[in-house]
Amino acid sequence: MAPPLVCVSDYEKEARRLLPLNAFGYYQSGALDEVTLKENKDAMNRWYIRPRLLRDMSQRSTSTTILGHKVSGPIGIAPTAMQRMASTDGECANARAAARFGTVFTMSTLSTSSIEEVAERAPSSLRFFQVYIYKDREVTAKLVQRAEAAGFSALVLTVDTPSLGIRREDERTKFTLPSHLKIANFLTNDMSSRMNTSAGGSGANEYVKSLFDPTLNWGDVDWLKRLTKLPIVLKGILTAEDALLGLEAGAAAIWVSNHGARQVDGVPPTIEALPEIVKAVDGRCEVYVDGGFSSGTHIFTALALGAQMVFLGRPLLWGLTCEGEEGAYNILNILQQELGSTMALSGCATVKDITRDMVIRKEFYSRL
C-alpha cells in the first residue's frame, strides 16, 4: 500500500508520476535557466521565525478577509491555465474545493472551463477572474462583462505579460494543449485552436504572440477601471515604484508575483520583493503574494512580512492531478493545518497577531 500524501511535496512527486511529460513540463517549468524558479523556494529558508511563548492559545482562528469577503484563512488559489490537463473537472473542481474550504478561487482567462461553467458548477464559491488585455480590446471587454454577469467579485489584471517568457521545457516538448481540450472562454474555434498548434515551437507562445498586446501601459489600467465596477487587483508587481503607480491607477490590491518564475529569469523571489512593496503601499491597499509557497511556515513568514493573502498555483494542480477536487481540498487543508500549528507554537492566536518582528533574516544570527 502506498504511503498517504501528507504534504505538498508528496503530491508533487505523485503528480510528476501521473501527468504526461508535456503537461507536467508546462505546469512546472520556469523561464530560461530557472534560477528564479529555484530562488522562489530557496528564499523561504533565508527567513527564521521568532516564536513568542507563554501566550494563551486556547482560542485560535486563521480567518481573515479579502476585499471585504470573509475567508477561512489567508490562503487563496492563484490563476493557473488549462487545469483540465490535471483533472477532468479542472477549474470547476478547484473552485468547488475553494468553496468547501471557504476561500477565494482565481480563474485564469486561459482556462479549459468557461466562466459560465465554473459559476454554474461552483455557485457558492468566492471567485476572482484573472484577465489579460488583448490587442482587440473588445475581446477583453466581453470577458469582463461575462465575469460580472456570472457573479465574479473582482478582476485580477496580470501586468507582467506583454509577451511570454522563454520556457525551455515547453520548447523541448513543443507544448500544445491536448486536442480534446479547448481554451473555453473563447467562442471562436480560431482563438482557441491557436493553443493546440505549436508551429514548431510552443503553442502557448504562438497564442500569446498572436493575441496579447505588447503596447499595454498604465493607461490601459485606467481603461479597464472605467469598464467595470468590480475592484481591480494588479498581479505581477515586483517593485515599490510600480506598486505606487498601481495605487495611483486605483488598484484595490497589489499582488506581488513573478508569474511563478515563468517570465523573467533573474528577478527577485517574491518573498524578498514583498517587504519593499508593503512599505511603499503603507496600508493604502491590500497586498497579496504568490510564488514558491508550499508550507504553512512559508505562509506565516509572508504574513509577518505584510501580505494579507498568500496565493498558491502549482500545489493545487498537484492536488487536482492526484485526487481531483478532493486533492485540491486536501492541499488547502494541509496548508491550513500547518499554518495553524505554526501560529499556535509561535504565540499567535489570530492572523493579526503575526507581526513583522516575528521573522528575521538568517544572516542576523551569523553576526551575533
- pLDDT per position as a tens digit, 214-224: 888 999 999 99
Question: Could you say which of 69, 180, 259, 298 is catalytic?
Answer: 259
Residue 198 pLDDT greater than 80, yes or no:
no
In a domain, 285, yes or no: yes
In a domain, 3, yes or no: no
**Distance (Å, whole) CA 365 – CA 357:** 15
Q: What is the reported pLDDT for 210?
A: 67
DSSP 3-state of 286: strand
User: What does the longest C-alpha to C-alpha distance in the chain come to?
Assistant: 63
Query: 5 with 11: CB under 8 angstroms?
Result: yes
In a domain, 103, yes or no: yes
Residue 200 pLDDT greater than 60, yes or no:
no
Computed on alpha carbons and rounded to an integer, the radius of gyration of the chain in Å comes to: 20
Query: 152 with 115: CB under 8 angstroms?
Result: yes
Domain that holds residue 254: 8-366
**Total tally of structural domains belonging to the chain:** 1
Which of left, alpha, beta for 4 (phi over 0: left; psi -120 to 50: alpha)?
A: beta
Which CATH number goes with the domain that contains 317?
Answer: 3.20.20.70
Query: 90 with 105: CB under 8 angstroms?
Result: no
- The pTM (predicted TM-score) of the whole model is 0.94
Among 12-16, 38-42, 193-197, 214-218, the minimum mean pLDDT is found in 193-197
In a domain, 2, yes or no: no
DSSP state of 212: B
Query: 200 with 213: CB under 8 angstroms?
Result: no
Q: What is the mean pLDDT of residues 271-297?
A: 98
In a domain, 229, yes or no: yes
The closest alpha carbon to 182, from 286, 271, 110, 244, belongs to 110
Residue 303 pLDDT greater than 70, yes or no:
yes
Q: Is 259 noted as a catalytic residue in this protein?
A: yes
DSSP state of 144: H
- pLDDT tens-digit readout, 28-86: 999 999 999 999 999 999 999 999 999 999 999 999 999 999 999 999 999 999 999 99
